[in-house]
Amino acid sequence: MANLKEVKERINSVVSTQQITKAMKMVAAAKLRRAQDKIVQMRPYSQKLTAILNNVSAGSEGSSDLVYSEKREINNVLIVPVTSDKGLCGAFNTNVIKATMAAINTEYAGKNVSILPLGKKAFETFQKRDFPVIGDYYKVFLDLNFDHVKDAAEYAMDGFVNGTYDKVVLVYNEFKNVATQVVRNEQFLPMEKETESVEPSATNVDYIMEPSREYIIQELVPTSLKIQFYKAVLESNASEHGARMTAMEKATENAGELLKELRLLYNRSRQAAITNEILEIVAGAEALGGN
């Protein structure tokens, strides 16, 4: 039978852990609300900007948007895995890393792959695996805002334009709800025409453009790409807090189940100890009575 002191120490340890997981769940819930509001507001803006870009660039073959649409033979690939800075969020980080490694080992096998990690977990993982890592932007989540994310997006865009990379891919968790995050392997560059989320009538919009269609496209395309990049980071941020909230809720429930078992074990051990003491007393009394 287990020692009473050891069982009591385990109970106290589990109670302390349960208090921590409850607190972490509440913190994650508060952060999730803010992150969810950001991504919900960003999605319509991103979709509308893409729709306008598609309308403006329709029939503009040969215009300046082709610099980001140029398709080449794929030799050099830049993959942007988006993870968190911290753990304790279930399989959130692991899923992104596994998806990235799967892409490297299958779709981009034999290619020159570079990694631009966003998030400390991705940076540490791929640095240990001796991949070429661009480590200048992984701290974006310390102060998440468009300006910081824009720098990473501009690096990827400039690398594609000057021929350093032939393809840029984003790997991140898309936020569905608190309990569901879907890993996306999304082509960032070269650009592909989006046909989804665009109203059928949108292609018939006749814009009055000043100073020119080419100038508008030249301004819209980089902005649209940076917004798309920022949206992926916001999706990942909301997914992180949702995953952590779910993980901490499950951990709290598991701690409760473990406490039930430990308290039952404690009571059994205590009863066994009391029974042994009674038997010893009875045996001693009988021995004295026999004398």
Catalytic residue among 35, 56, 79, 89: 89
Question: Would residue 280 count as lying in a domain?
Answer: no
Element (H, E) at 189: strand 180-189
Residue among 204, 172, 159 at smallest CA distance from 67: 159
- Count of C-beta atoms within a 10 Å radius of residue 166: 20
Percentage of the residues of the chain whose pLDDT score is greater than 90: 59
Question: Would residue 75 count as lying in a domain?
Answer: yes
Residues paired with residue 78 on neighbouring β-strands, in sequence order: 114, 168
Residue 196 pLDDT? 45
Question: Would residue 157 count as lying in a domain?
Answer: yes
Residue 175 pLDDT? 93
- Tokens representing 257 are 């189940």
Domain ranges, residue 80: 21-247
Q: For the chain, what's the residue count?
A: 291
Question: Would residue 152 count as lying in a domain?
Answer: yes
Cα dihedral 78, 81, 82, 86 sign:
negative
How confident is the model over 266-291, as pLDDT tens digits? 898 888 888 888 888 888 888 887 65
Average pLDDT, integer, range 43-53: 82
18 pLDDT band, cuts 50/70/90, is very high
Top pLDDT among 221 and 112 is at: 112
Residue 256 pLDDT? 94
Question: Would residue 165 count as lying in a domain?
Answer: yes
Radius of gyration from C-alpha coordinates of the chain: 29
The chain-wide mean pLDDT, for the chain, equals 87
Residue 156: phi and psi, rounded to 5, are: -65, -40
Distances (CA, A) of 8 to 14, 141, 217: 10, 40, 69
Average pLDDT, integer, range 191-203: 53
Residue 2 pLDDT? 61
- The three-state secondary structure class of 69 is coil
Residue 251 pLDDT? 94
CATH of residue 159: 3.40.1380.10
84 pLDDT band, cuts 50/70/90, is very high
Average pLDDT, integer, range 163-179: 93
Residue 197 has pLDDT above 60, yes or no: no
**Calpha distance 148→93 (Å, rounded):** 21
The verdict on pTM exceeding 0.85 is no
Top pLDDT among 65 and 216 is at: 216
Residue among 153, 146, 139 at smallest CA distance from 229: 153
How confident is the model over 115-165, as pLDDT tens digits? 999 999 999 999 999 889 999 999 999 999 999 999 999 999 999 999 999
Residues 6+ apart with CB under 8 A from 284: none
Least confident of 37-46, 139-148, 211-220: 211-220
Question: Would residue 123 count as lying in a domain?
Answer: yes
- Answer yes or no: 89 catalytic: yes
Residue 259 has pLDDT above 50, yes or no: yes
Single-letter code of the amino acid located at 112: N
Domains held by the chain: number = 1
Buried/exposed 58-79: b ≥16 CB within 10 Å, e otherwise: eeeeebbbbebeeeeeeebbbb
**Calpha distance 14→255 (Å, rounded):** 6
Top pLDDT among 207 and 120 is at: 120
Question: Would residue 105 count as lying in a domain?
Answer: yes
Question: Would residue 47 count as lying in a domain?
Answer: yes
